[in-house]
């Protein structure tokens, strides 16, 4: 007798009622390396003492031999909280290229995934990673690359899809709970995963598309009240005006199901009383996380340059 499917997230994954998970993508891994193409070095580190949270660090090779202090990017991968890891070739290749383009250090966080570890595990692990980065502010943290080469006055957060949702929720937490010795004033959300039970005026009303977008949330967060949960629908979060960022860059893609929801997030921020600056960059003709699957296309190159300039602006 076949086990019943609880959540069909094909082509990404299937979750069965007996708890078994089939992942169809994001399962490949690559080791850290010295990337010959970009000259970026990487290594893996444990962030929590119980090893539930780890990260892959990236640094331009030239920076290792110099006294230069570089901006730091804390990155949260996408995959609907269920697929992909920080060790995925998709993210390894992307961060090698971004670190080289922007001349930064990156900390790519590997958080626990649903459904084995339902939310808030990914949020808790991401906050643990931020506290770990902040522990280097006096130059005596556990990681030498950050002690010697990180400019912790210029720290950014970014993530795509579910990772963009994590960035937002870390910003909400930063608005309430400061980290000692360091701020995270700027954020980049790439095709962030926000949703709601009622379609926005221009948002898709196709039942299958809406159901697919919702299934990830219901699978990842089984105790949720639904898609109007403030963690997924910022319109319902009374804390939005306290978002702990000074600047937010939102990247959207014209053909992405999440496009209108992400533009709506800009509108929400602007009307909330939040005192920061929000900007949207839209990629015409592109779909969700196109830049990961087609990194050499023109729109991906433009987005890469935009992210690099955003992180290197003098403020």
Catalytic residues: 161, 256, 288
Residue 125: half-sphere exposure toward Cβ, Cα within 13 Å: 26
How many whole angstroms separate alpha carbon 110 and alpha carbon 112? 7
Q: Identify whether 291 is preceded by a cis peptide bond (ω within 30 of 0).
A: no
Q: φ, ψ for residue 59 (rounded to 5)?
A: -150, 140
Any idea which residue has 């922007």 for tokens?
Answer: 102
Nearest Cα to Cα of residue 299 among 309, 314, 311, 287: 287
Question: Per DSSP, what are the bridge partners of residue 130?
Answer: none
Structure tokens at 13: 């994954």
Any idea which residue has 């959207």 for tokens?
Answer: 252
**69: CB partners within 8 A, 6+ apart:** 149, 150, 151
């Amino acid at each position: 007798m076949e086990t019943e499917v609880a959540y069909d997230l094909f082509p990404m994954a299937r979750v069965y009622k007996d708890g078994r998970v089939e992942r169809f993508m994001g399962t490949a891994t690559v080791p850290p390396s010295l990337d010959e193409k970009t000259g970026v070095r990487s290594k893996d580190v444990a962030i929590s003492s119980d090893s539930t949270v780890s990260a892959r660090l990236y640094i331009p090779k030239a920076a290792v031999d110099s006294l230069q202090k570089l901006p730091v990017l804390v990155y949260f991968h996408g995959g609907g909280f269920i697929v992909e890891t920080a060790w995925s070739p998709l993210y390894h290749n992307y961060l090698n290229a971004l670190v080289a383009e922007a001349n930064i250090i990156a900390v790519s966080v590997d958080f626990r995934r649903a459904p084995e570890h339902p939310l808030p595990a990914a949020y808790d692990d991401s906050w643990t990673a931020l506290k770990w980065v902040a522990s280097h502010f006096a130059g005596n943290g556990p990681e030498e690359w950050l002690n010697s080469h990180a400019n912790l006055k210029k720290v950014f957060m970014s993530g795509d899809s579910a990772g963009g949702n994590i960035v937002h929720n870390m910003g909400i937490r930063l608005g309430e709970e400061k980290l000692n010795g360091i701020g995270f004033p700027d954020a980049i959300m790439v095709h962030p995963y926000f949703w709601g039970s009622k379609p926005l005026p221009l948002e898709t009303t196709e039942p299958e598309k809406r159901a697919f977008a919702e299934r990830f949330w219901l699978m990842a967060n089984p105790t949720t009240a639904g898609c109007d949960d403030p963690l997924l629908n910022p319109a319902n979060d009374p804390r939005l005006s306290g978002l702990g960022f000074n600047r937010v860059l939102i990247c959207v893609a014209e053909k992405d199901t999440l496009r209108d929801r992400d533009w709506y997030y800009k509108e929400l921020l602007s009307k909330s009383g939040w005192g920061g600056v929000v900007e949207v960059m839209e990629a015409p003709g592109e779909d969700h996380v196109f830049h990961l699957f087609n990194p050499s296309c023109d729109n991906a190159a433009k987005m890469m340059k935009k992210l690099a300039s955003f992180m290197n602006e003098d403020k």
